Structure 1
Amino acid sequence: MEGMGQKRRPLVVMASSSTTAAQSASRGGANPLAELTDRFRSLEVGVREWMAKQPTHIEAAVTTAFGAVQGGALGGLMGTFAPEGGAGLPVPQPPPGLDPKAMATFKQAQALAGGPLVQARNFAVMTGANAGISCVMRRVRGVEDVQGSMAAAFGSGALFSIVSGMGTPNPVVNAITTGMAFAVFQGGFFIVGQKFSKTKTHNEDMNYSRGRNMLNQLGLQNYEKNFKKGLLTDETLPLLNESALRDVNIPPGPRLVILEHIKREPGLTKSN
């Protein structure tokens, strides 16, 4: 009887451990996908912080490489699922004596209908150039605006035209026109996106209007981001104390100035 009990005991332990694991998973334990996503975001933040400390040419090179890899993967995927059958089919050649305008149109269609390797190359050049030029423009001009976006789109469109072989009769002119078309489209998208972003930002900033005005009067406008980071909206102004300001990393001097100003301004202590 004792031997039988000893043989059964490990089985009971194994069953209970597996049951515990199942219960842990069913109760919302560690989610592998969530952990992987968090690690990827942490890695992305770390890479961005590292690149921000590097010289312009280092950041531009890394950004271009990442953009080229992403574009190449997308282009290869598009070429694989293309109805033409991908790289297994030979790329057709233009008939002899074709009109120059018809030849340019044929080359454009040929560039857009290539197999996975052709599409991977074309998209890698396009997205890599766009990312690299955008990075340089942002570093040099200190701002990310529509002009920088259009410049990046022009360069990527021109390089895409040259690499893909579009516009054989006059490749230079075709590269310029393609770059201009890319610039117009991307500039339009940037302006539309910026309008939506401004509307959203305006709605969010309404919650910080009195706090922002207070900081501007005190010459402490640099700490507006601290208020937003700590969600210190206008409704919280009557509740502000030294502890709350310390938690959002505002130094002792500005803390004292802010608290004294709130005491002397009755309007700030009235909630909306």
Structure 2
Amino acid sequence: MFENIKSFDDVSKKYQEWLAQQDEAMQVVLVGLQSSVQGGVLGYMFGSISAMDPTQNGQQPANPAMQAMVKAGPWGSARNLAALTGVQAAASLAIKKARKGKEDVYSAMGASFLSGVAYSLVSGSPNPLQSAVTTGAAFALFNGLIYQVGAAFKPEFADTEYDRGKYMLKTLGLTKYADNLKKGLLTDNTIMLWSDSALAECRIPPGPRLLILHQLDMYRNPSNVLKPALPLPPLPPPPPVAAPAAAASR
């Protein structure tokens, strides 16, 4: 297991591979603990630096955030930042898992709200409940704004890895399953290897799967395409129309 490890990057890759093999709940816990430790170390460093008086005259800094750092001290800052980063990472992963990998502004705001609540509770506010709600809402709104600004300036690249698959779905009238290809990473390079199980893992229903596989069979085995032995059965005859009452009396 350790014979191929030659650098810290190799250790990180091994850890990520091992983490991916764990169940979802364990992944959330481990990711939260990892981020919590990192946040605690950074918080202690920031708290130690902020506790130093740069003016050498005993005056408190004018910045409210710096005042909070000085008041909390190194260990208090470590505790606060550990709770903030740990809950943020764990909540982000848990929400992503619950939403089947979907990430958007709502996921970011949800994780930020929970991290803001955790930060408020461990920091020892006078009114814990009210402060937790207001702090969580402030964190969520701020992170949501940052997410939207980042998305607005994110460069758009042409997604050409799924063109052939999307075109096939369009010809079959199955355009609504185009996003499922991306979720399963079924690129055009893998299109001739698609199987029923692979399409099922992408949450494509059985009927559309049959149509897709039948379409692919025309290219895999063009001389052995499945054809119906008989035409479709005719429609049932219409129900008989009741005779008018006058004709019946005669």
TM-score by length of 1: 0.54
**Structure 2 contact 20–27 (Cα < 8 Å) conserved:** no
CA deviation string 1:216-242 (max 9, x = no partner): 2356956563436x5xxxxxxxxxxxx
Q: Point out where structure 2 has 5 or more consecutive residues left out of the alignment.
A: 54-59, 197-212, 223-250
Percent sequence identity is: 27
Whole-angstrom CA distance in 2 between matches of 1:223 and 1:148: 22
Aligned-pair CA distance for 1:35: 5.1
Aligned-pair CA distance for 1:211: 2.2
Determine whether 1:186 maps to 2:130.
no
Q: Point out where structure 1 has 5 or more consecutive residues left out of the alignment.
A: 1-33, 86-91, 93-104, 231-243, 262-272
1:74 aligns with: 42
1:3-22 alignment runs, 5 A limit: none
Q: How many residues align?
A: 184
1:129 aligns with: 87
SS of equivalent to 1:133: helix
2:168 aligns with: 215
1:39 aligns with: 10
2:187 aligns with: 227
Aligned-pair CA distance for 1:153: 1.0
**Structure 1 contact 223–250 (Cα < 8 Å) conserved:** no
Aligned with 1:147 (options 94, 98, 106): 106
Whole-angstrom CA distance in 2 between matches of 1:165 and 1:109: 17
Paired letter, 2:92: S
Determine whether 1:111 maps to 2:68.
yes
Whole-angstrom CA distance in 1 between matches of 2:111 and 2:186: 33
CA deviation string 1:207-262 (max 9, x = no partner): 3474243232356956563436x5xxxxxxxxxxxxx866xx5569676545789x
**Structure 2 contact 162–186 (Cα < 8 Å) conserved:** no
Aligned-pair CA distance for 1:59: 2.5
SS of equivalent to 1:165: coil
**Structure 1 contact 150–183 (Cα < 8 Å) conserved:** yes
Paired letter, 2:117: A
**Structure 2 contact 24–97 (Cα < 8 Å) conserved:** no
Whole-angstrom CA distance in 2 between matches of 1:255 and 1:196: 39
Aligned-pair CA distance for 1:123: 0.4
Whole-angstrom CA distance in 1 between matches of 2:220 and 2:86: 50
**Structure 2 contact 162–187 (Cα < 8 Å) conserved:** no
1:24 aligns with: none
2:33 aligns with: 65
Whole-angstrom CA distance in 2 between matches of 1:62 and 1:155: 17
**Distance change (3 Å), C-alpha of 1:69 and 1:211:** same
Paired letter, 2:187: F
Whole-angstrom CA distance in 2 between matches of 1:183 and 1:174: 14
Determine whether 1:204 maps to 2:142.
no
**Distance change (3 Å), C-alpha of 1:43 and 1:255:** farther
**Structure 2 contact 39–81 (Cα < 8 Å) conserved:** yes
SS of equivalent to 2:133: helix
Whole-angstrom CA distance in 2 between matches of 1:146 and 1:112: 29
